[in-house]
Amino acid sequence: MSLIQNILAVIVVLGVLVTFHEFGHFWVARRCGVKVLRFSVGFGKPFWSRVDRHGTEFAVAAIPLGGYVKMLDEREAPVPADQLDQAFNRKSVWQRIAIVAAGPLANFLLAIVAYWLVFVVGTTTVAPWIGSVTPDSPASEAGLSRGDEITAIQGDAVRSWEDISLKLVSMIGFSGELSVETRAEGRQAPREHALAVNDFLVRQDPPQPLESLGITPWQPDFPAVLGQIVAGGSAEQAGLAPGDEMLAIDGEAVDDWMHFVNLVRANPGTPLTLDYLRDGERRQTTLTPGRNALETGVEIGYIGAGVEPVSWPEEMQREIRYGPIEAVGQAVARTGDMTLLTLDAIRKMLVGLISPSNLSGPITIAQISGDSARAGFEAFVGFLAYLSISLAVLNLLPIPVLDGGHLLYYFVEVVRGRPVSEHAQAIGLRIGLAMVGTLMLMALYFDLMRLW
């Protein structure tokens, strides 16, 4: 069921992103008087299509991993004399720039609309209270302590752990004093701390910003009660069910959920005598955790079960909501921040500050799409917005075969006063295909490594 949900979620996500992107090209092309021959969502043979009064075929194809807008163009096929004025290649260079740039701009607009919707509907998030501080860590040496609420990073206000993580990830490679502002419980006056860091998060895979600083978020105590059971897992094989409370493993009393998890992780493949409580009745079963090998080569145990959710204290919750007008500015600002973060991540990957293994391909996108869909409206729409921004930024990179490569040729044409030669474009096409193909293979490789 999870696999089916992931597939459906990624089809929806890619379908929306591709449709908006290609509609941007299509809409501006029509405004510029270019005849559009086909608007296709997906590749391959269409399983649905229709032709409008302008002669444009709208199609949905079987392979939902992209799409395209095919325009009348003398470089691709002969054009009747009475339609030459509708050919893309006959339009002015500025019209061609507008048509090509419209796709990525449509993705930026989609992100703004998505964030606007999230801000208007509103979200409830967890206040960034510190649960514990690791001894001798940067946070400990700077004086941060349990119960403090983080209110700003580097002078920028933060309201949730998500805000903090995004801000810290943007600081990858930073050396010096990281400014963290906190407010102690029951006090109004903030306190500023200077955390000494050196090459912050450089080449961490994946980046662990809070752990690197020695900060653990506060969370309520989780009793060792099962909330979800994975089909076919060790927990199901042992006869466990949602609502069962774990009491003891091999005679050792279970204190809470994390204690139970640690006992399971420490015994991969080992039959364990488990005492548990169901409907007030104490029962016993044999539980044999599965084996899972970490990248370090160490094996840990797992049983395919999740904890029963607990409610967070009301004082720990923060509702973030804006009016329709104010939400526009917030959505534009969030889109701008995420765009800069994406560009900065690309730059840092090129100079070696971020590991290339953070590249994600279709498998990871499918997993995250499914997870965000199951997590609820806000998570799914937020992920859609972020992916739309990523698609826009990547398409604007000056790589031939991408929109950014075409824009590069057209701006060179503006400067030179004549088009880039077909020979130069052909060479660029081969280079661009090699670069994009290499990136796709790398992303797929790291996808498979994460699965493995």
The predicted structure's pLDDT at residue 404? 92
Cα 3 from chain centre? 18
Q: Is the pLDDT of residue 361 over 70?
A: no
| More confident call, 102 vs 363 | 102
Q: What is the pLDDT of residues 271-308, one digit of tens each?
A: 999 999 999 999 999 999 988 765 456 788 889 898 88
Question: What CA–CA distances, in Å, run from 269 to 12, 33, 272, 296?
Answer: 39, 68, 9, 18
Q: Is the pLDDT of residue 36 over 90?
A: yes
256 and 162 in a common domain:
no
Residue 142 lies in a domain: yes
Answer whether 110's CB lies under 8 Å from 388's CB: yes
Q: Return mean pLDDT, the chain.
A: 87
249 and 158 in a common domain:
no
106 and 9 in a common domain:
yes
Q: Is the pLDDT of residue 207 over 80?
A: no
Which residue bears the tokens 């998060």?
A: 201
Distance CA 331, CA 119 (A): 7
Structure tokens at 121: 């509907």
Q: Is the pLDDT of residue 25 over 90?
A: yes
The predicted structure's pLDDT at residue 389? 94
Q: Is the pLDDT of residue 372 over 90?
A: no
HEC profile for the chain? CHHHHHHHHHHHHHHHHHHHHHHHHHHHHHHCCCCEEEEEEEEEEEEEEEECCCCCEEEEEEEEEEEEEEECCCCCCCCCHHHHHHCHHHCCHHHHHHHHHHHHHHHHHHHHHHHHHHHHHCEEEECCEEEEECCCCHHHHCCCCCCCEEEEECCEECCCHHHHHHHHHCCCCCCEEEEEEEECCCCCCCEEEEEEECCCCCCCCCCCHHHHHCEEECCCCCCCEEEEECCCCHHHHCCCCCCCEEEEECCEECCCHHHHHHHHHCCCCCCEEEEEEECCEEEEEEECCEEEECCCCCEEEECCEEECCCCCCHHHEEEECCCHHHHHHHHHHHHHHHHHHHHHHHHHHHCCCCCHHHCCCHHHHHHHHHHHHHHCHHHHHHHHHHHHHHHHHHHCCCCCCCHHHHHHHHHHHHHHCCCCCHHHHHHHHHHHHHHHHHHHHHHHHHHHHHHC
Answer whether 306's CB lies under 8 Å from 117's CB: no
Report the share of the chain in percent with pLDDT over 70: 92
Residue 433 lies in a domain: no
Residue 431 lies in a domain: no
Residue 12 lies in a domain: yes
Q: Is the pLDDT of residue 29 over 70?
A: yes
1 and 118 in a common domain:
yes
Q: Is the pLDDT of residue 14 over 70?
A: yes
Mean pLDDT throughout 155-173?
Answer: 87
1 and 108 in a common domain:
yes
Q: Is the pLDDT of residue 186 over 70?
A: no
107 and 22 in a common domain:
yes
Q: What is the pLDDT of residues 110-138, one digit of tens each?
A: 999 999 999 999 888 888 899 889 899 99
Domain boundary, last residue among 193, 217, 241: 217
Which CATH number do you get for residue 177?
2.30.42.10
Mean pLDDT throughout 321-332?
Answer: 94
Cα 75 from chain centre? 38
pLDDT band at 328 (very low <50, low <70, confident <90, very high): very high
Distance CA 305, CA 237 (A): 11
Residue 413 lies in a domain: no
Q: Is the pLDDT of residue 376 over 80?
A: no
Q: Is the pLDDT of residue 220 over 80?
A: yes
Domain boundary, last residue among 167, 194, 217: 217
Q: What is the pLDDT of residues 392-448, one digit of tens each?
A: 999 999 988 889 999 999 999 999 989 888 888 888 888 888 888 888 888 777 767
Residue 441 lies in a domain: no
97 and 8 in a common domain:
yes
The predicted structure's pLDDT at residue 370? 66
Structure tokens at 47: 């399983």
Nearby residues of 206 by Cβ (< 8 Å), 6 or more positions away: 358
The predicted structure's pLDDT at residue 190? 85
Domain that holds residue 12: 1-122+324-396
91 and 178 in a common domain:
no
Residue 207 lies in a domain: yes
Hey, which residues are catalytic here?
22
Q: Is the pLDDT of residue 33 over 90?
A: yes
CB atoms within 10 A of CB 135: 9
Q: Is the pLDDT of residue 366 over 90?
A: no
Nearby residues of 203 by Cβ (< 8 Å), 6 or more positions away: 352, 353, 354, 355
59 and 10 in a common domain:
yes
> pTM for the whole thing?
0.79
350 and 288 in a common domain:
no
The predicted structure's pLDDT at residue 373? 65
Distance CA 59, CA 38 (A): 7
Distance CA 7, CA 11 (A): 6
Query: If we measure between CA atoms, which residue out of 381, 362, 325, 322 comes closest to residue 446?
Result: 362
Residue 428 lies in a domain: no
pLDDT band at 329 (very low <50, low <70, confident <90, very high): very high
pLDDT band at 369 (very low <50, low <70, confident <90, very high): low
pLDDT band at 219 (very low <50, low <70, confident <90, very high): confident
Domains: count for the chain: 3
Mean pLDDT throughout 144-158?
Answer: 90
The predicted structure's pLDDT at residue 291? 85
Domain boundary, last residue among 217, 236, 270: 217
For residue 206, say if its preceding peptide bond is cis, omega within 30 degrees of 0: yes
246 and 199 in a common domain:
no
Mean pLDDT throughout 39-55?
Answer: 88
274 and 303 in a common domain:
yes
Q: What is the pLDDT of residues 60-100, one digit of tens each?
A: 988 777 788 999 998 888 989 889 999 999 999 999 999 99
Mean pLDDT throughout 366-393?
Answer: 80
Distance CA 231, CA 315 (A): 36
Distance CA 37, CA 51 (A): 9
From the number of C-beta atoms within 10 Å of its C-beta (0-12, 13-18, 19+), residue 342 rates as middle
